[in-house]
Structure 1
Amino acid sequence: MGKPVNVGIIGCGAIIAQYLTNFRRLHAVELVAVADLDPARAQAVADDYEGVRAVSVDELIAADDVDLVLNLTIPAAHADIALKAIAAGKSVYGEKPLAANVMEARQVLEAAAKAGVKVGCAPDTVLGTGIQTARKAIDDGLIGAPISATATMVTPGHERWHPNPDFYYQPGGGPLLDMGPYYVSALVTLLGPVVSVIGAASHTRNERTIGSGPRAGESIPVTTDSHVTGILMHASGALSTLVMSFDAVQSKSPNIEIHGELGSLVVPDPNHFDGDVQLFLLGAESWETLPVSAGYVDSGRGFGIADLAATAAGSEPRAGGVLAFHALEVMESILVSARTGAAVPIQSTAARPDPVPLINLNQAATVEQTLPSEGIRQEEVQPVSS
């Protein structure tokens, strides 16, 4: 704590640009190396970022000056890269999901616990002012005891804009595993862990047509469900309804609504770090917009790594592997339930991460003061039985 964490990035695709923008303004993060299966892409990043070198994947993992590996590879490679980095004594932070399936994710957490390194995972959007202001409203009792939530993500499909959308329509992809981590992580942050789920799923097309880039017009197969609905039963007793779709066109519903005994909250898009939180109290005549009261101000992708860097040894990062594992099991179990028609109990748990006080990291030399002396510990994860 108190010094920057040296980061090496594996995977220099489209998402890296957002991380690079924020790394330039985070005191707690120092980018030192990048790698990609396409060396030219890694070199392009290194040429544009002073002090960064382009190396092979193996060289980055073995590098003495890399403390943490940021894994921006495709989901199918998440566990493999994470396990190699952990074996080399590195902490890891990955794009969502933590791994392609619960079995691989369990291996990552168990390896990290044995090696004594930290695991973090996107989304860190839950650390921004949007979700954190909503959480503070719930914690302050503004809506009374939470009763239910709805979470809706509707889009006609990523192939319309993504030049290489194949993995979105393969096992490990689909709207639930692609976008669900934002929503499930937010629901757990707001309402606590999930104990059981019921799911249903479908897909309307067996092929998709790429709409942009050099492969425009090419058809790709759909081998996973592209519309998923789930009911989440939280340990608190609250019930959440989840709708994730790559089939429908648009939704007018708020991304997330939370309903309590005394009022209702509209929570901003969990794919973003900020946004208005609106409150309608019992007996009121209209919605009111709550002032920003918690979370990292002006945050973006990569703030979860700064938070991890300041997390005390033995404590779980807020955007940590425990939460990511639980979210992955919830999503995987929804798909199991969709196939079997039965409710599926969730074997893991994840305590609500510690709240983020209102703080601007661009004006703070360190985030140490925002973290408690005791956090969620790695061993609190309860993996699914083999």
Structure 2
Amino acid sequence: MGESLRVGIVGAGKISGQYSATLARLSQVTVTAVADLDPGRAQLLAGQHPGARAVNLPELYAAPDVDVVLNLTTPNQHAAVALAAIAAGKHVYGEKPLAATGADGVAVVEAAAAAGVRVACAPDTVLGTGVQTARAAVDAGEIGVPHAATAFMTGPGHERWHPDPEFYYQQGGGPLLDMGPYYLTSLVQLLGPVRRVMGMSSRPRHERTIGDGPRAGTAFAVDVDTHVTGVLEHESGALTTLMMSFDIWAARLPRIELYGSRGSLSVPDPNYFDGDVRLFTAGGESWRVLPPAAGYADAGRGVGLLDLAEALVEDRPHRAAADVALHVLDVMEAIQLSARGGSSVSVRTTCRRPDRISGVLDLG
């Protein structure tokens, strides 16, 4: 690898624009190639990065100027693209979830270990000042010993705004697998891994209608449960109450809150990088906002590639780690299994709690 981590992007769909905007700001990362099933989309995305070119998939995997494949395909393609990239000797950074199934996730992790390459996985929102400042407060003992948490993601569904939303409602989608990684990855950062879960789920509507774009008004089938709730038992003993739903029009619920022996901590929306972290301590009279104390400032999707680039140079573990992504996928599958079977399910995997970012860092 040269001075800059050279990136080949696979998938030039809607989310790629956010990644592209961030990567263009990073001197440590250079986009060199883009591949998409639609060559026109690949060309447009490549045109946002000087010197980048639109190529087909075999060309991208074989390209000597691609160090890492940024996998922005739909979830059911995550494992196939990752395995092909690994076979070509490339590092992989993928959109969440790591794979559509735990078995596929294990295959990706094992293939990377055998090939001696790294796998990183979104969400990298946990590297922003929101979750990292909350993590710093927990590590400093601001709320004492954490014993409980709540994590709520509520909304009416992505079909209101996404022009091609069907994949959100197919196997590998749903609120748990789509939005759950933001919340569960944050919870691993804050409270550590999970050892046991209890879940329940439902599917209030079996059909949805596209609300935006050229296909507005088109109805499609819902193949997954769209309201999921459960309890997570962390290895630390803390209990998290979880709700992920595409069936709620409006709610006044916290995104994530932690409750400890000396106080409570309110964590901003983990789908974003920043936001106010609020602390209430025992004996206090009101919540107070904590100033940003850790994390990448003014970050955007793709900052995980910056951390990967720096980790390769510094020969340290990267924070958007494969073992975390595999554990989060395992937790989600355990919740689904519990919901079907009606009893608690032990989580098969564990993971290393990633190192906290020390201080507030700029992207430059």
TM-score in terms of structure 1 length: 0.92
Structure 2 residue 346 is the aligned partner of structure 1 residue 345:
yes
Give a deviation string over 1:204-241, Cα, whole Å, max 9, x none.
11100000111110000001000000211000010001
RMSD: 1.2
Q: Which amino acid aligns with 1:207?
A: E
Partner of 1:136: 136
Is the deviation greater in 191-200 or in 17-26?
17-26
Q: Residues 2 and 267 of structure 1: is their aligned pair in 2 closer, same or farther, counting only changes over 3 Å?
A: farther
Consecutive unaligned residues in structure 2, runs of 5 or more: none
Note the alpha carbon deviations across 1:136-190, whole angstroms, 9 max, x for none: 0000001000010000000001001100000111111000000000000000100
Find out whether 1:223 has 2:223 as its counterpart: yes
* Shift of residue 249, structure 1, vs aligned partner: 1.0
1:244 aligns with 2:247: no
CA distance in structure 1 between the partners assigned to 2:129 and 2:2 by the alignment: 24
Structure 1 equivalent of residue 68 of structure 2: 68
What residue number does 1:29 align with?
29
Q: Distance in 2 between matches of 1:179 and 1:15?
A: 14
Supply the AA of the counterpart residue of 1:172.
G
Alignment of 1:227-376 (within 5 A): 227-312=227-312, 315-363=316-364
1:362 is paired with a residue whose SS is coil
Q: Would the aligned equivalents of 1:129 and 1:294 in 2 still touch at CA under 8 Å?
A: yes
Provide the C-alpha distance between the structure 1 equivalents of 2:208 and 2:13, rounded to a whole number of angstroms. Answer: 22
Q: Is the 8 A contact 1:298 1:360 kept in 2?
A: no
Report what 1:160 is aligned to.
160
1:48 shift after superposition: 3.1
Code of the aligned partner of 1:359: V
Instruction: Write the distance in 1 (CA, Å) between the matches of 2:317 and 2:331.
Output: 20
Are 1:44 and 2:10 counterparts? no
Query: Alpha-carbon deviation of 1:359?
Result: 3.4
In the aligned structure 1, how far is the partner of 2:158 from the partner of 2:361? 33
| Contact residue 26 and residue 361 of structure 1 kept, 8 A | no
Per-residue deviation at 1:272? 0.3
Cα 1:60–1:17, aligned 2, differ >3 Å: closer, same or farther? same
TM-score by length of 2: 0.98
Partner in structure 1 of residue 99 of structure 2: 99
Partner of 1:381: none
- Asked whether the 8 Å contact 2:293–2:360 carries over to 1, the reply is no
What is the number of residues matched between the two proteins? Answer: 363
CA distance in 2, matches of 1:271, 1:86: 28
Q: Distance in 1 between matches of 2:359 and 2:274?
A: 12
How many Å apart are 1:2 and its aligned residue?
A: 8.2
Distance 2:209 2:225 in 1: 17
2:183 aligned partner: 183
Shift of 1:254: 1.3
| Larger displacement relative to structure 2 (160-169 or 310-319) | 310-319
Q: Which runs of 4+ in 1 moved over 4 A?
A: 312-315
Percent identity, aligned pairs only, is 58
Match of 2:108 in 1: 108
Q: Per-residue deviation at 1:47?
A: 2.6
Contact kept, 8 Å, 2:292 with 2:360, in 1: the verdict is no
The aligned counterpart of 1:169 is 169
CA distance in 1 between partners of 2:47 and 2:69 (Å): 20
- Partners of 1:27 and 1:241 lie apart in 2 by 41
State the distance in 2 between where 1:90 and 1:250 align. Answer: 43
Give the deviation of 1:309 after TM superposition: 1.2
- Residue type at the aligned position of 1:247: D
